[in-house]
Amino acid sequence: MPDHNGRERIGVYPGTFDPITLGHIDIIRRGAKLVDRLIIGVTTNPSKNPMFTPDERIAMVKREIASQGIDNVDVIGFNALLMNFAEREGATVIVRGLRAVADFEYEYQMAGMNQQLNDRIETVFLMADVSLQPIASKLVKEIAMFGGEIEDFVTPTVREDVISRVDRIGRLGDY
């Protein structure tokens, strides 16, 4: 689906993906239908207290995307301003997922700032599937750290990654 100038339409779906959840995979699957090539930009955000290193997250996302059979997706790590990364990759679209009103307020502000930085790149919001709306990586990690079950929120292989990491760093709580 090239643009009106015959160029490949490239989108970027940025995030920390720490860990990648079923909600992320849903947005990736749906976002990949909107563009010729979707780049999953795995970035760092120290304020999110990551459980996995950037390289581990990139490998995890690549593995999960391969297992889904989505063939127009690339996974690239970046540690730069999103709009600079998107421009470098030739993207014309930023894909973002929305779960709730709080997400919208934050994402709307970010889209406005990004438009100020580069008005040639559009932001497209995809609503989370109703069954996946409550899922957040931060909550998945918290549940796992307290010994709760996360199988409804991540794939079986990501569940094993998270449980293995929690076993290594230690659980929280006394139950």
Please tell me the distance from the alpha carbon of residue 62 to that of residue 138, in angstroms, as a whole number: 20
CATH of 10-169, one of 3.30.413.10, 3.40.50.10440, 3.40.50.620, 3.40.50.2300: 3.40.50.620
Chain segment 62-86, per-residue pLDDT in tens: 999 999 999 999 999 999 999 999 9
What's phi and psi for 13, nearest 5 deg?
-115, 100
Strands (E) located in the chain: 10-15, 37-43, 73-78, 93-98, 122-127
Chain segment 115-151, per-residue pLDDT in tens: 999 999 999 999 988 888 888 999 999 999 999 999 9
Q: Terminus-to-terminus CA distance in the chain, angstroms?
A: 53
Kindly list the domain boundaries of the chain, sorted by start residue: 10-169
Cα torsion 125, 93, 137, 167 to 10°: value is 160
Please tell me the distance from the alpha carbon of residue 6 to that of residue 119, in angstroms, as a whole number: 20
Task: Kindly report whether the peptide bond that precedes residue 19 is cis, defined as omega within 30 degrees of 0.
Answer: yes
Q: What is the pTM of this model?
A: 0.91
Chain segment 12-34, per-residue pLDDT in tens: 999 999 999 999 999 999 999 99
Q: Find the largest Cα–Cα distance for the chain.
A: 61
* Catalytic center residues: 24, 48, 99, 137
